Amino acid sequence: DRHAADKFGQLTRQGIHRWRWCFHTVKAESMVPELGVIEGYFGRPWGHEDRKRVMTQLRELGYSWFHHAPKADPFLRRRWREPYPSAAFTMLADLSAHCRSLGMRFGVGLSPYELYRDYSGPAKADFVAKLRALDDIGLDDLAILFDDTRGDVPDLAAKEADIVHAAMAVTRATRTVMCPTYYSDDRMLDVLFGERPAGYLEDLGRRLDPRVGVYWTGEEICTREFSPGHLIRIADALRRKPILW
């Protein structure tokens, strides 16, 4: 409702991280980070009109992009191989048009759930079909999200990099972002999703196309602060500055 959108603006001004907004690469000429929001949380997603109101407020606050990726959207996660129902597809296209009309970049976060376990012919075909369908919504950014899934599999970084590169070869989006399975130093990820492979971040950074942005939440899943030393270490491992989620 309108109160939710107003509250969002209030929290943004106060700098509270509950809503998970993101800092992209710093613009050297102004030292002001590029700001955006990813709706990528668990729980009840925002309503369609709420999102549009939030976008309008974001633009007024200087934000430049919005990524639609609610975990509760089954067609972006567990049922990602299925096409969007017509009504939901129309709403996403409307959301994209509204975002772009404000001068903001619009993106979708696709979580091809455990695709890396069986990236065979049929799975590849379904992945390509999904990407082409998402293109029809109108994307500036495409995010491929591997967060909060099992990661204790052989050659995880190589498999994830291959999937991201396959998406880049298909999508009409002009910017591609990915979220690693292990997107934080927080050991809770290893408890929940299996022990992270040794050298995972370094392997991922070495394999990924340098044009790909990488989401990172910090030393904790919901980090309280970012230290310069930590960010330097992660940037060195990934061979690029992370996008702070």
Question: Which sequence positions are flagged as catalytic?
Answer: 148
**105: which 2 tokens?**
């970049």
Which amino acid is located at 147 in the chain? D
What is the separation of C-alpha 88 from the centre of its chain, rounded to a whole number of angstroms? 20
Which amino acid is located at 239 in the chain? R
Using DSSP bridges, classify how beta strands 32-39 and 21-27 pair: parallel, antiparallel or unpaired.
antiparallel
The SS3 call for residue 176 is strand
Question: Angle between the 86-101 and 48-60 helix axes, to the nearest 10 degrees?
Answer: 10
Q: The tokens 């001004």 sit on which residue?
A: 13
Q: Is 124 exposed, middle or buried (0-12, 13-18, 19+ CB in 10 A)?
A: middle
Using DSSP bridges, classify how beta strands 65-68 and 243-244 pair: parallel, antiparallel or unpaired.
unpaired
Residue of 231, 221, 211 whose CA lies nearest to 169: 211
Q: The tokens 């392997």 sit on which residue?
A: 203
